[in-house]
Structure 1
């Protein structure tokens, strides 16, 4: 990694690691370096590109299946599911936009920005979780849906389809930032048109007035948590894709395009998934073939093709950001292509996990999609509290300062998870104390985790700040 004086920020206030090599606007080239600051002379792009960058990866089957769960697993009516989908997706889109807007100012990945509240060592908690969920968990989930879609389309063995999907995903992620943006851009028109037509057909065949299965407020809250968790699952990646934008980029436009990309794509496809359940319950086939069985033959085949392409769109981002999160742990790899090499490593592990999930995709989808928000809620609580408390302060030097190790961040997140998960989790594998005694409460894990972590962080950060000032005054 480089510590040269290439321009990146005026008067840096502390240690800074600058990404070495020259990359610029090249697409068919491997992005050099790792999770360091992107220098100003390498900045390029415009905010509008974020709309398709964040729309394309959600135009795939995992998004559809979140809506399916509202009726299949939680017993909601169609309109109850729509309300939860719109609210959860809006909340996840808003948080994504706010986080994305900081990328041009700092020029670093999201999990490097996370060092501000968590410190260099404490950041191992959120960055480590994100590396696992993004680079391995999400990779496996989306690879399976893409492989099943390709298998249904071509009649090739699912294992061979998985190899094809994984190879395509790794190729995009290996090359890096510019190739990821380019792939999402060129995939967008096809994915948007086909899924728009598919949604219209599904809605036309649906029966929105059909009664639900009595999910009530509990089912509503569980789906709300699932839809927020799905949209907010992109939050820990936010500035990964805005850090190359010029420092002068309009922050409002950056946040707006990124947030809209997440909200529009998630809400439309999740609503389509919910609507498909009012046509007919899912049978014993693969989830992807069950969904497309409601469509005319040609449209069904196009939709299966787009589900496969959408899986590549999603996982190119998952692998790329998973490798960024791993490097944000502070692991020193003296390799010019360290990010690319780490991406291949994550892809290999995710491939093995996906291979073991081909035969039970539906159950594994449900279990994974419903718990993703459990750590993101507490992380967001800490991050937003810190952003408010540090507003107006000079922050760049803290990002690469290995002596910056406050207690507040990791402690607040750990407390938030320790309180929210055992008490409020409501999943097939584990039911927390509160929903076990009051099932109508549903699942409040992400809400409680967010609030508890935010409150603990404010209290501990305030105490640490006062203690530091007292120590400094005494020393003077």
Structure 2
């Protein structure tokens, strides 16, 4: 049997030494409340506020509509995350490793690469944003330069602090990550509450009460916007955390832990962003949302706000980097898991340095790039979920065997029906996408000007095509 991955034993003390090999059932002792705290912590970032601002300032929703949209979009999308995490409990392996059973041990390289690039991209966003927050904090406390390019050494130090804090937790692995996410939620969650109270005090309540409601169509588009900006991006990472869940854990409990864990903070933050934007639309248009929110606050709130922003981004990055390390191993890079984590953060560190010290702009073009990756990721979710509904189990030996003897070799290492559904869904999905804004758009699909296209619902069509086509084409014999 050909083994294409580094395999080690599981958890040794605080350090997780297991790679991507399935966790034996005797070592799966997790429970849904662990995942509740993991998802809660990953979504208490203050950056949920600009999402809510977008619903009001750009899509024209009244506050009560935005609150409903926040509930449906965030809870609904993380219910999908919870559904995908069922695969982790069932197979005991990371999501992209389990994906080998669907696409073949070679065919899975495409979805895995897309997932890794997406994770690295969002980690670069987190690192850059957190470094800006820390740089602002240094300006307040020590009187240093506020511009990154005016203080390159300090900027690199700010990036390094965030990266080191990320590696300490993500490198140690699952046990430490679960514990840190739980307890840090109380600390940074409390800070976010303090910041939220200060922000509520400046809400223009007259503007909130007098805003006319938008159409039902605008609300539907809003749900799509929130779902794409929250849960959909986490779906391919969900099984990475649930692989330690006990086999007796019910599927419904996994769905509920993700939907409630992420939904509670997201609904509150998105709704607050909608309240703020009712009287001041600048938050939705800000290139640097962290700085835009700081301007709204009284001077005495600047320090706790920046600490809360830094902490929220760090908690999100812990989970993303941990997942990226496992995805790197699935791609075939033969290193230990902890070294895969270090390799991933080296890439995001270089990216953050470039965007802070070299490039003239960052958020708009980079978020556009990340948004484009949402199409192939959603196509993967569509195929994977249909397969999960039909698959009773995963073969642990076949998952780790990347040679011709693997039970998931199929045809030349690829499963044609899954890859066909995935590829065609991507092509269709991109026809509803525009990359860039206005005159600066560098790509526009054939149906980009249609109602689904202009309202950012291309990912919904992508999911429907991928799931529907794969269901029609059929699937291989389950192993």
Q: So what's the TM-score if we normalise by structure 1?
A: 0.83
Choose from 410, 413, 416 the match for 1:407. 416
Contact in 1 for aligned 2:225/2:456 (Cα 8 Å): no
Query: Residues 247 and 75 of structure 1: is their aligned pair in 2 closer, same or farther, counting only changes over 3 Å?
Result: same
Deviation digits for residues 102-153 of structure 1 (CA, Å, limit 9, x no counterpart): 323321011112222212112112111111111x101011112211222222
Once the 2 structures are TM-superposed, how far is the Cα of residue 36 of structure 1 from its aligned partner? 0.6
Gaps of 5+ in 2: 145-153, 401-405
Give 2:247's aligned residue.
247
Give 2:177's aligned residue.
180
Gaps of 5+ in 1: 4-13, 469-476
| 1:357 match: secondary structure | helix
Once the 2 structures are TM-superposed, how far is the Cα of residue 361 of structure 1 from its aligned partner? 4.4
Query: Residues 426 and 346 of structure 1: is their aligned pair in 2 closer, same or farther, counting only changes over 3 Å?
Result: closer
Contact in 2 for aligned 1:221/1:443 (Cα 8 Å): no
Structure-2 separation of matches of 1:35 and 1:296: 48
Structure-2 separation of matches of 1:70 and 1:120: 41
Structure-1 separation of matches of 2:363 and 2:217: 22
Give 1:317's aligned residue.
319
**Count of matched residue positions in the alignment of Structure 1 and Structure 2:** 443
Structure-1 separation of matches of 2:425 and 2:82: 23
Once the 2 structures are TM-superposed, how far is the Cα of residue 218 of structure 1 from its aligned partner? 6.9
Once the 2 structures are TM-superposed, how far is the Cα of residue 324 of structure 1 from its aligned partner? 1.0
Give 1:199's aligned residue.
196
RMSD over aligned Cα atoms: 3.1
Contact in 2 for aligned 1:18/1:37 (Cα 8 Å): no
Give 1:275's aligned residue.
275
Structure-2 separation of matches of 1:178 and 1:109: 15
Query: Residues 364 and 17 of structure 1: is their aligned pair in 2 closer, same or farther, counting only changes over 3 Å?
Result: closer
* Pair 1:423-2:432 in alignment: yes
Contact in 2 for aligned 1:103/1:243 (Cα 8 Å): yes
Query: Residues 37 and 393 of structure 1: is their aligned pair in 2 closer, same or farther, counting only changes over 3 Å?
Result: closer
Give 2:91's aligned residue.
106
Give 1:168's aligned residue.
165
Contact in 2 for aligned 1:96/1:232 (Cα 8 Å): yes
Deviation digits for residues 152-209 of structure 1 (CA, Å, limit 9, x no counterpart): 2221544432221122112222221122112211211012222233334434432323
Alignment of 1:461-472 (within 5 A): 461=474
Contact in 2 for aligned 1:16/1:397 (Cα 8 Å): no
Alignment of 1:208-219 (within 5 A): 208-209=208-209, 211=211
Alignment of 1:282-361 (within 5 A): 282=283, 286-329=288-331, 331=332, 333=334, 335=335, 338-358=336-356, 360-361=361-362
Query: Residues 285 and 396 of structure 1: is their aligned pair in 2 closer, same or farther, counting only changes over 3 Å?
Result: closer
* Pair 1:432-2:445 in alignment: yes
Give 1:139's aligned residue.
123
Q: So what's the TM-score if we normalise by structure 2?
A: 0.83
Deviation digits for residues 268-321 of structure 1 (CA, Å, limit 9, x no counterpart): 222222322234324878421221333344444212101111111111111111
